[in-house]
Structure 1
Amino acid sequence: MSIDLDTLPIILAHVPVWVWLLFAWLVYSGLCALRDREQRVARLAIVPVVFILWGLSNLLLGHHGTTPVLVWLACAVVLAPAGLLSGRRLRIEPARGLVHRPGSVLPLVRNVALFAAQLWLGIAMALHPDHRDTLVAMKSALSGAMAGYFLGWALALYRAARPAA
């Protein structure tokens, strides 16, 4: 399934403004993550909460049926340990309640890739209703993987912050 490059500007012009604002914020967050920094635990939890809610909304508001739910759950379970492991690098300073994070390109790449994949799937579903079942399964897999990864990451953050609370 491809998207005709001639119609791409027209399609992108019809994407809601909030989607572009979310994209700008995800890019900004990713660029900030390139350098070492300290953040409050609550501030650090924003990106995982956004992606968890986005993943859950695709499950709850999306297409119903057993297969999409099972695909979503399977991908969430498979990716949760990866999120848990990636969150192990977090270091909490208990006296100040701050998290020390080493700079990394991973958040920028991850955020933009997840956004682009969700956007592509949304556009593909609108343009190719004849491939609905395949696209729903792909969207369920991506949403579940996204939610599972960030649930694992949020659990790692919670574990790291618990002694500091």
Structure 2
Amino acid sequence: MFTAILHHTPSWVWLLLAGLVALGWSQSRDRLLTLPRATLLPLAMVGLSLYGLGSAFGWAAEPLTAWLAGAAAALAAVHVAGGWRGIEWQAAARRVFVPGSWVPMVVILGVFSVKFAVGVLLAMQPALRTQASFVGAAALLYGGFSGLFFSRGIASWQAGRHALRASRA
């Protein structure tokens, strides 16, 4: 069955995976980014997550609520854990310093894996689309990954905003 799944997967999916791996790899290095660019990837990954949710289950209230719950839980967990330490504003460069991390690679591959698995499972068992437990679990996962990425965007904006406020005072 595994080889059948791989055989029936369109080629563009593997090209997308290669691109996402390259993107994740690039996140492992320290970078100086403009504030908008520091939030571009987090927002893109939130968009990909929402696209995955909507394309699989539609835009009904239940999956969106589960997605929001997953995102909120991940945001809260990252905040409590003090995640994304090291993101700071570099005043001389007027850029945000984002330390390299493998966490974005894990999150990127997590979103891809959930999207791939949901697609395969729905192709094999279309009735899963109506099972609340399946829809809820997938939506929670999509939301959780989105919350992790979104928290990095928030940390970047907070670093820049605090520094800009201090410079105006």
TM-score bracket, normalised by the shorter chain, equals: 0.7 to 0.9
Change (3 A) 1:109 1:120: same
Aligned-residue CA RMSD (Å) = 2.5
For residues 1-165 of structure 1, the aligned pairs below 5 Å read 4-12=1-9, 14=10, 17=12, 19-60=13-54, 62-84=57-79, 85-132=82-129, 133=131, 134-165=133-164
Please state whether the residue corresponding to 2:84 is helix, strand or coil. Answer: helix
* Post-superposition CA distance 1:114-139 (Å, at most 9, x none): 21122111221122113331432222
Change (3 A) 1:43 1:32: same
The CA distance in 2 between the partners of 1:59 and 1:140, in whole Å, is 6
The CA distance in 1 between the partners of 2:7 and 2:61, in whole Å, is 35
Normalised to the residue count of structure 2, the TM-score between the two structures is 0.77
The CA distance in 2 between the partners of 1:44 and 1:20, in whole Å, is 26
How many pairs are equivalent? 159
Normalised to the residue count of structure 1, the TM-score between the two structures is 0.78
The farther-off stretch of 78-87 and 89-98 is 78-87
Please state whether the residue corresponding to 1:86 is helix, strand or coil. Answer: coil
Please state whether the residue corresponding to 1:38 is helix, strand or coil. Answer: strand
The CA distance in 2 between the partners of 1:121 and 1:101, in whole Å, is 32
* Post-superposition CA distance 1:81-121 (Å, at most 9, x none): 24444234201102212222333222222211221122111
The CA distance in 1 between the partners of 2:152 and 2:33, in whole Å, is 16
* Post-superposition CA distance 1:16-35 (Å, at most 9, x none): x3x54543332122212223
Gaps of 5+ in 2: 165-169
The CA distance in 2 between the partners of 1:139 and 1:154, in whole Å, is 23
Q: State the shift of 1:49 in Å.
A: 1.0
Q: Does the CA-based 8 Å contact 1:33-1:107 persist in structure 2? A: yes
Please state whether the residue corresponding to 1:136 is helix, strand or coil. Answer: helix
The farther-off stretch of 103-112 and 82-91 is 82-91
